[in-house]
Amino acid sequence: MTEKDFIVKLNNLRSTAPDEAWLKSNRELLLNQISNSGAANLSVWKTFVINFSSLAKASVRPAYALGAFVFILVMGSLFGNQVFSNVKPNDSLYIARIISEKAKLNTVLNSDSHDKLAAQFATQRAQDISAVLADPKFNTDQNQTQVASLSASFNQEINTAKTQLDHITPVPSAPADVAVSIADNAKDNQGMQVAANPLGQTVSYATVSEATSSKGSDKTATSSATSTPAKTNSADDTTVILDQAQKLFDQKNYNQALDKLKEADQLINNAN
Amino acid sequence: MAANPIRKFKDKQTLSKLRSHDKEAFIKVYDDHVAEIYRFVYFKIGNKEEANDLTSIIFLKTWNHIQNNSLVDAKTLRALLYKVARTSIIDYYRETGNKLSVTDSLDDENNRIEVVDEALNSEEKIDREADLELIKSKLPLLKEEYREVIIMKFINDLSLDEIAEISGKNKGNVRVLLHRALSALKALVEGDGKL
């Protein structure tokens, strides 16, 4: 007989029960005895108070646990990336840094700010990888596996940063009046006049472009007025710098790559 | 143990009502637990009449205990009932001066287990009753603590946490004790060559 069968047979002893008659008579007997010691039926109000306080006592621990969980989640999302920002890619807590950065990213709702922050995090991680690989104590023959892994991570981070920069929506940072002024200067050279907007509103690029192209002679004005916004230029510049950093990294010029990445980080940081 | 919040709430509610001298709460506790407390006592002392008396005393003592104490010594009502049952049985042993012996009456004619299961045919019923009688006859041969954990776990279906709290041991010790107790009982029963 197996142990399981034996346990089933033991479980069957549950059928042992006192006599029904004794149960009833003993119930009455006990009820009489406790009634003599002051037992009574509770009032509705007393029952309500007991139910309410029991509910509060039973739920206080789960409520604390839930509160603590939410608190840790919120604090982790808001400040976790600061706590782990100094963790290097060869540290065991590096995964915590990545998670905290992702948590921080999830708290940013604006898509441009999100992309900018993602690019910044990727660039910073790439910087840290370069710094680690630039360290001769780490970058040894014995650590070649880790070095190869970090190199792959570096390329991944650079690609992430470039992708995020591409996502940033180009917003014209050069106001229309600047464009008008450029067009105005160009037309002044040809004895033409650009009328001021009677409503005092900004002039659109299309208006300026039409004004310039209708004459069909002012190539300078057209190119100035329809020029790419400054932010796009900034993103392009950053992408170029990231490409340069990648090339330097591939050539194992880690320190120079690091300088380039710092430059890119600065550009991303300064971008509005 | 009151692991789930609903059970925890009900336990707190019942204890609060008992402390407020609520008759209905006492009756509910009696109806819910009398059978298992009776079984615990009966399989420990082996006498039906005395098990009846002791069960009655245990409920009364529990009522008095709740009125006079803050219940810091037991986390749940069920555990409290078992604790009171254990001390009452010890008192009973002291008063009568004997423990359950092999010759005592767990398996006498008056205490035959009545198994009511309509699905079983008469032959199966006879087999099953014979098995139960055999196990019952071997239970008194076990050490006191072995018998106690077997009753609590396999007959009354208490959790390891509850047994640990009642017996004042940790869960690991209870698990080991259960394993040894089960092996010992199985060896006794199989030694008889009937199961």
Q: What whole-number distance in Å separates Cα of residue B62 and Cα of residue B80? A: 7
pLDDT at site B33: 94
Regarding whether B93 and B129 lie in a shared domain, the answer is no
What angle in degrees, to the nearest 10, is found between the helix axes of B5-19 and A44-83? 140
Q: Is residue B111 part of a domain?
A: no
Q: What whole-number distance in Å separates Cα of residue A114 and Cα of residue A104? A: 9
Q: Is residue B59 part of a domain?
A: yes
Q: Which residue of A has its CA nearest to B29?
A: A27
| Cβ burial, residue B10 (10 Å; 0-12/13-18/19+) | middle
Regarding whether B129 and B87 lie in a shared domain, the answer is no
Does residue B167 belong to the interface with chain A, where contact is any CB pair within 8 Å? no
Answer yes or no: are the C-beta atoms of A127 and A265 closer than 8 Å: yes
CA angle (A158, A118, A174) in 5-degree steps: 95
Q: Which residue has the higher pLDDT, B79 or A64?
A: B79
Residue that finishes a domain, picked among B54, B74, B101: B101
pLDDT at site B174: 95
C-beta atoms of A6 and B189 within 8 A: yes
Among residues 133-152 of chain A, which lie with CB inside 8 Å of chain B? none
- Residue A151: phi and psi, rounded to 5, are -60, -40
Does residue B62 belong to the interface with chain A, where contact is any CB pair within 8 Å? no
Amino acid at A15: S
Q: Is residue B108 part of a domain?
A: no
First CA to last CA across chain A, in angstroms? Answer: 79
CA atoms within 13 A on the CB side of B174: 20
- Nearest C-alpha of chain B: how many angstroms from A48? 10
Q: Is residue B37 part of a domain?
A: yes
Regarding whether B96 and B139 lie in a shared domain, the answer is no
Residue that finishes a domain, picked among B48, B71, B101: B101
Sequence-ordered alpha helix ranges (H) in chain B:
5-19, 23-45, 48-68, 77-96, 122-138, 144-150, 160-167, 171-191
pTM reported for the whole predicted model:
0.52
Please list the residues that pair with B11 across neighbouring strands: none
Q: What whole-number distance in Å separates Cα of residue B155 and Cα of residue A253? A: 75
pLDDT at B17 > cutoff 70 = yes
Q: Is residue B107 part of a domain?
A: no
ipTM over 0.85: no
Regarding whether B3 and B95 lie in a shared domain, the answer is yes
C-beta atoms of A41 and B35 within 8 A: no
Instruction: Tell me the Cα Rg of chain B.
Output: 18
pLDDT at site B126: 79
Q: Which residues of A touch B20 (CB under 8 A)?
A: 42, 46, 50
C-beta atoms of B9 and A59 within 8 A: yes
Q: Which residues of A touch B43 (CB under 8 A)?
A: 13, 16
Q: What whole-number distance in Å separates Cα of residue A10 and Cα of residue B135? A: 8
- Residue A18: phi and psi, rounded to 5, are -70, 165
Q: Which residues of A touch B35 (CB under 8 A)?
A: 17-18
Q: A-B interface: how many C-beta pairs under 8 angstroms?
A: 126
- Nearest C-alpha of chain A: how many angstroms from B96? 22
Digitized pLDDT (tens) for each residue of chain A, 272 residues in all: 788 888 888 888 888 889 999 999 999 999 998 888 777 777 778 788 888 877 777 777 777 778 888 888 777 777 766 777 778 888 888 888 888 888 888 888 888 888 888 888 888 888 888 888 888 888 888 888 888 888 888 888 888 888 888 877 665 544 444 444 444 454 444 544 444 444 444 444 444 444 444 444 444 444 444 444 555 566 778 888 888 888 888 888 888 888 888 888 888 888 75
* Tokens found for residue A219: 């190539």
Q: Which residue of B has its CA nearest to A6?
A: B186
Regarding whether B128 and B95 lie in a shared domain, the answer is no
C-beta atoms of A14 and B23 within 8 A: no
Mutate to test the interface with B, among A25, A30, A55 (most CBs of B within 10 A): A30
pLDDT at site B103: 43
- Nearest C-alpha of chain B: how many angstroms from A45? 12
Answer yes or no: are the C-beta atoms of B25 and B14 closer than 8 Å: yes
Residue-range definition of the domain harbouring residue B170: 120-195
- Nearest C-alpha of chain B: how many angstroms from A72? 23
Regarding whether B10 and B86 lie in a shared domain, the answer is yes
Q: How many domains does chain B have?
A: 2
pLDDT at site B116: 47
Regarding whether B131 and B71 lie in a shared domain, the answer is no
Does residue B26 belong to the interface with chain A, where contact is any CB pair within 8 Å? yes
For the domain that residue B137 is a member of, what is the CATH number?
1.10.10.10
Give the SS3 label for residue A173: coil
Regarding whether B89 and B16 lie in a shared domain, the answer is yes
- Residue A221: phi and psi, rounded to 5, are -60, -45
Q: What whole-number distance in Å separates Cα of residue A254 and Cα of residue A97? A: 22
C-beta atoms of A37 and B63 within 8 A: yes
Residue B100: which pLDDT band, with cuts at 50, 70 and 90? low
Regarding whether B125 and B97 lie in a shared domain, the answer is no
Regarding whether B82 and B35 lie in a shared domain, the answer is yes
Q: Which residues of A touch B192 (CB under 8 A)?
A: none
For the domain that residue B59 is a member of, what is the CATH number?
1.10.1740.10
Regarding whether B60 and B23 lie in a shared domain, the answer is yes
Q: What whole-number distance in Å separates Cα of residue B149 and Cα of residue B136? A: 15
Regarding whether B67 and B125 lie in a shared domain, the answer is no
